[in-house]
A and B are shown apart, each in its own frame.
Chain A
Amino acid sequence: MSSAPQPEWSDRSRELSQLLARTGLGDRAAFATLYRKTSAHLFAVVLRICRDRGQAEDVLQDVYVSVWRAASGFDAAQSQPMTWLTSIARNRTIDGLRRAQTQPRLQTTSTDEEDSDVYEATADDRPGPLELLSRSSDARALSTCIDGLAAPQRQSLALAFYDGLTHAEVAEKMGEPLGTVKSWVRRALMSLKTCLERAVQRDEAAAGR
């Protein structure tokens, strides 16, 4: 499970931008192609957070209806198409989450378990959020920055981001106080930001700008 199938984030961008622009002009064929090329990724993102398959399908449907309506607002100069699409999918999914749906998958974990069991093992055979975080290597800078996070920060961020757990749920899952988890997530985000900004500066310096 070490080499994950990476959607070639930047390679696909050019084509997807064009499809989105045409979708924004009401081009249904372009929209159909856009769906074919992106729905498996978005469905996976939705499904990760919203574990009920039927509900995930409903969310995905809403996502693409939104995309159809909002595509003319997509600006290729401002954002990457997959970033734009994935953000819509995540927002829809999180908006649709109710506590009732997030509750059942919380299991009480005894604190004397191995840490790796808590974070890596899930009821099904899908990879744990922490494994996903370590796989996110399509952008080298990003993976370097993730490696630089302290373990608890990385774990709490992975649970919150991939599985859509609230801070309280992350705290319960990790067996840590809520305040501690909150500050871990916050620090993880801020470290990522600083680290990525430094990487950009390095790239620019290397390019002689």
Chain B
Amino acid sequence: MDYSRPALADRPAAEYVSGALRGPARRRFEALLTAHPALRAAVAQWQARLMPLTGAIEPVEPPASVWDRIESRIGGSTAPVATRTAWWNRLALWRGFTAAAGAAAIALALVNVAPGPARPPIVVVLSATGPAAGAAGAVPASFVASISSDGRAMVTRPITHVSVSPDRALELWAVPAEGVPRSLGLISADGTTIVKKGKVLDNTSALAVTLEPPSGSPTGKPTGPIVYLGKLQI
């Protein structure tokens, strides 16, 4: 069946999400999901429609033993680290960060790759780490940063609509593997920003965007929460 046609994707997706699809048919459907974006999109829509229904179920606290077993299965103790280290120092320890492939694909479609013999720019997708709490209120979204291959210039732009409250600005940081992030300046929440700071890529392992006062961080170091983060993969 041609699952790229939304009309055909909708019904099996509804049956899958509602739980009606069972046994081998369910497994076959799950196998199809990986190959059919339209099917995945239909499933996501049905999940968004139906999962709020579970909000009516009275929560039941699981026994503590469940968490103990989870902890041992993911390895190591998960006792919260008491020492409050700055986030940029912990960044190097955060492993396995990969920008969602979907977001990367969108980003590549949006960024104009200059034609000609020049090497293509390096594209970094900055994923929302969850917007800063409450009043600061940037909505979850993603940024894409396109860096010229010589590392001298960068263009940032939001992939989706980003709203930042008037008393806050977005500041871009080049985060080294170790040490303090360097400010790359403020970036626009609703359009393209050209960043010319020279040697953007030198000693940079990630790009981060923080919420800062309107004129930027007063200290030269990030003061606000990280709202977007993207690792450089060169």
Which of chain A's residues have a CB closer than 8 A to the CB of B66?
39, 43, 57, 60-61
Contact pattern, B 60-100, Cβ under 8 Å of A = 1, otherwise 0: 11110111011001101110110000000010011111101
Task: For residue B99, give the distance in angstroms from its CB to the closest CB of chain A.
Answer: 9
CB of A32 within 8 A of CB of B20, answer no
Which of chain B's residues have a CB closer than 8 A to the CB of A84?
47
Instruction: Say yes or no: is A133 at the interface (Cβ < 8 Å to chain B).
Output: yes
Task: For residue B82, give the distance in angstroms from its CB to the closest CB of chain A.
Answer: 10
15 additional A-B pairs beyond A68-B74, A138-B55, beta carbons within 8 Å, are: A5-B59, A7-B55, A21-B127, A26-B96, A48-B57, A60-B66, A65-B73, A75-B100, A75-B103, A80-B48, A82-B55, A83-B51, A94-B26, A97-B22, A161-B18
Contact pattern, B 37-50, Cβ under 8 Å of A = 1, otherwise 0: 00000001011111
Instruction: Say yes or no: is A149 at the interface (Cβ < 8 Å to chain B).
Output: no
Instruction: Say yes or no: is B140 at the interface (Cβ < 8 Å to chain A).
Output: yes
CB of B97 within 8 A of CB of A24, answer yes
Which of chain B's residues have a CB closer than 8 A to the CB of A166?
20, 22
CB of A26 within 8 A of CB of B48, answer no
Question: Which range contains the number of B residues in contact with the other chain?
Answer: 35 or more
Task: State the CA gap A120–B60 with chains docked (Å).
Answer: 20
Instruction: Say yes or no: is A105 at the interface (Cβ < 8 Å to chain B).
Output: no
Task: For residue B4, give the distance in angstroms from its CB to the closest CB of chain A.
Answer: 19
Nearest opposing residue in chain A for B73, CB measure? A65
Task: State the CA gap A5–B98 with chains docked (Å).
Answer: 37
With A25-B94, A77-B142, A78-B44 in contact, is A136–B55 under 8 Å at CB?
A: yes
CB of B19 within 8 A of CB of A39, answer no
Instruction: Tell me which of B22, B56, B94 contacts A132 (CB under 8 A).
Output: B56
CB of B130 within 8 A of CB of A76, answer yes
Instruction: Say yes or no: is B141 at the interface (Cβ < 8 Å to chain A).
Output: yes
Task: State the CA gap A17–B19 with chains docked (Å).
Answer: 25
* Most A Cβ at <10 Å: residue of B57, B81, B96, B129: B57
With A57-B63, A61-B69, A87-B51 in contact, is A73–B76 under 8 Å at CB?
A: no
Contact pattern, B 127-164, Cβ under 8 Å of A = 1, otherwise 0: 11111010000001110000000000000000110000
Instruction: Tell me which of B44, B46, B94 contacts A26 (CB under 8 A).
Output: B94
Task: State the CA gap A45–B47 with chains docked (Å).
Answer: 14
With A15-B133, A17-B128, A73-B100 in contact, is A86–B54 under 8 Å at CB?
A: yes
CB of B19 within 8 A of CB of A20, answer no
Instruction: Tell me which of A9, A20, A75, A95 contacts B55 (CB under 8 A).
Output: A9
Task: State the CA gap A94–B97 with chains docked (Å).
Answer: 30
Task: For residue A20, give the distance in angstroms from its CB to the closest CB of chain B.
Answer: 7
Nearest opposing residue in chain B for A79, CB measure? B44
Which of chain B's residues have a CB closer than 8 A to the CB of A167?
20
Nearest opposing residue in chain A for B159, CB measure? A77
CB of B102 within 8 A of CB of A40, answer no
Nearest opposing residue in chain A for B48, CB measure? A83
Task: Give A139-164 interface residues, CB cut-off 8 Å to B.
Answer: 139, 142, 157, 160-162, 164
Contact pattern, B 1-22, Cβ under 8 Å of A = 1, otherwise 0: 0000000001100110111101
Task: For residue A189, give the distance in angstroms from its CB to the closest CB of chain B.
Answer: 5
Which of chain A's residues have a CB closer than 8 A to the CB of B116?
none
Instruction: Say yes or no: is B52 at the interface (Cβ < 8 Å to chain A).
Output: yes
